[in-house]
Structure 1
Amino acid sequence: MTRPDKRPDYRSIFISDVHLGSAGCQADALCAFMKTHTSEQLYLVGDIIDGWRMRKKWYWPQSHTNVIRRILTAAKRGTDVTYIIGNHDEFLRAFLQFRLAFGEIKVKNRAVHEGEDGKRYLVVHGDMFDGMMRADRKWIMHLGDHAYNFLLWANTKLNAIRRRLGMPYWSLSQALKKRTKRALNHIHNFEGHVADYCRRKEFDGAICGHIHVAEMREIDGITYMNDGDWVESCTALVEHHDGRWELLHFQPHAVKDDVPSVNEARIAVVA
Structure 2
Amino acid sequence: MTASTYRTIWISDLHIGSTQCHADALLDFLKHNDSEKLYLVGDIIDFWALSKKMYWPREHNTIIQKILRKARHGTQIIYVPGNHDENVREYDDYVFGDIVVKRSDIHTTAAGKRFLIVHGDEYDTIARHHRWLAKIGSVGYDWLIEINRFLRLCRKLIGYQSHFSLAAFVKFKVKNAVQFISDYEESIVRTLRNQGLDGVICGHIHHAEIKDIEGFTYVNTGDFVESCTAIVEHNDGRLELVHWLKQEKPSPETQAETGLPHPG
- Within a 5 Å distance, the mapping from 1:1-271 to structure 2 comes to 9-96=5-92, 99-135=93-129, 137-168=130-161, 169-251=163-245, 254=248
SS at match of 2:193: helix
Q: Deviations over 1:29-65 (max 9, x none)?
A: 1111111111000000000000000000000001001
**Which consecutive unaligned segments of at least 5 residues does structure 1 have?**
1-6, 256-266
Q: Root-mean-square deviation (CA), in Å?
A: 1.7
Residue 103 of structure 1 deviates from its aligned partner by 1.6
Q: Is the 8 A contact 2:4 2:32 kept in 1?
A: no
SS at match of 2:206: coil
Q: Deviations over 1:130-155 (max 9, x none)?
A: 010123x1111011011000000101
Q: Is the 8 A contact 1:13 1:41 kept in 2?
A: yes
Q: Deviations over 1:83-113 (max 9, x none)?
A: 00100001112333xx422121000111100
Q: Distance in 2 between matches of 1:119 and 1:94?
A: 29
Change (3 A) 1:245 1:252: closer
Residue 245 of structure 1 deviates from its aligned partner by 1.0
Q: Distance in 1 between matches of 2:108 and 2:59?
A: 33
Change (3 A) 1:253 1:132: same
Identity of aligned residues (%): 45
Amino acid at match of 1:130: D
Q: Distance in 1 between matches of 2:246 and 2:31?
A: 14
SS at match of 1:134: helix
Amino acid at match of 2:231: L
Q: Is the 8 A contact 1:198 1:204 kept in 2?
A: no
Q: How many residues get paired?
A: 247
Residue 70 of structure 1 deviates from its aligned partner by 1.1
Q: Is the 8 A contact 1:41 1:80 kept in 2?
A: yes
The TM-score with structure 2 as length reference comes to 0.90
The TM-score with structure 1 as length reference comes to 0.88
**Which consecutive unaligned segments of at least 5 residues does structure 2 have?**
250-256, 258-264
Amino acid at match of 2:101: V
